[in-house]
Amino acid sequence: MSAAADESRDAGRRPVVAVLDYGSGNIHSAVKALDAAGGDVHLTRDPGLIREADGLLVPGVGAFQAVMDQLRAVRGPEMIERRLAGGRPVLGICVGMQVMFERGVERGVETEGLGEWPGVVDELKAPVVPHMGWNTVEAGEGSRLFRGLEDERFYFVHSFAAQEWTLEAHGPFAQPVVTWARHGGRFLAAVENGPLSATQFHPEKSGEAGIRLLRNWIEGLPGATL
């Protein structure tokens, strides 16, 4: 176990949250927001810390293909898959959510995603693109992320999104909690599926509501005592 994760747990302090540092835009606002939400935050690409942290945040801005290329350059897909295989929480934001799907199609370019969820990310069906600004969401029943936030607005800035959800749980697995929003047509605003959660909007740019959402996620991490 890494020294940061070990020290945090032994002292009963904040849960350790690793933010995957793979070169995707300015992510310091996400680090600050996670800190404000109660995380012991580490911006890192160290495989040991990423594997052992209580939670992993996968940020993402820009094009689907560029984000996938950057993730592969630091072996991000392997680290994310390994965490999820062990049931360890991961949160994706914006394009960090989009790459969890099987593929993305942008300007005629089709790119393979991480394939954690079935489906395609493509351009919003809306008269005005990008979708930029504050919007309400339709929180899924039983959502942990949106607990106490059902009437809040969140900040979006994107031209592409997943617009269908086809995954159904079977057997002992809990049904995924799916949250929708509208800009023109309906699109996925968030998904909570076992250890993997993601938001299309930016909690770190969504003021107090975003901080509270991140806190809801952190409070669900292993060993959290907030």
Domain edges within the chain: 3-219
* C-alpha dihedral (167, 115, 85, 57), degrees to nearest 10: -100
Q: What is the pLDDT of residues 15-73, one digit of tens each?
A: 999 999 999 877 999 999 999 999 999 999 999 999 999 999 999 999 999 999 999 99
Contact 180, 188 (CB under 8 A): yes
Overall fold of domain 3-219:
Rossmann fold (3.40.50)
Q: What is the pLDDT of residues 89-139, one digit of tens each?
A: 999 999 999 999 999 999 999 999 999 999 999 999 999 999 999 999 999
pLDDT at 180: 98
What is the residue-averaged pLDDT of the chain?
A: 93
Query: Edge-to-edge strands of the sheet including 40-44?
Result: 40-44, 16-20, 55-58, 90-93, 196-199, 185-193, 177-183
Report the share of the chain in percent with pLDDT over 70.
Answer: 92
Q: What is the pLDDT of residues 169-222, one digit of tens each?
A: 776 668 999 999 999 999 999 999 999 999 999 999 999 999 999 999 999 998
pLDDT at 186: 97
pLDDT at 7: 47
Cα–Cα distance between 47 and 80 in angstroms, integer? 10
Q: Which residues are catalytic?
A: 94, 202, 204
Q: Which tokens is 70 given?
A: 């950057």
Report the share of the chain in percent with pLDDT over 90.
Answer: 86
Cα–Cα distance between 196 and 92 in angstroms, integer? 8
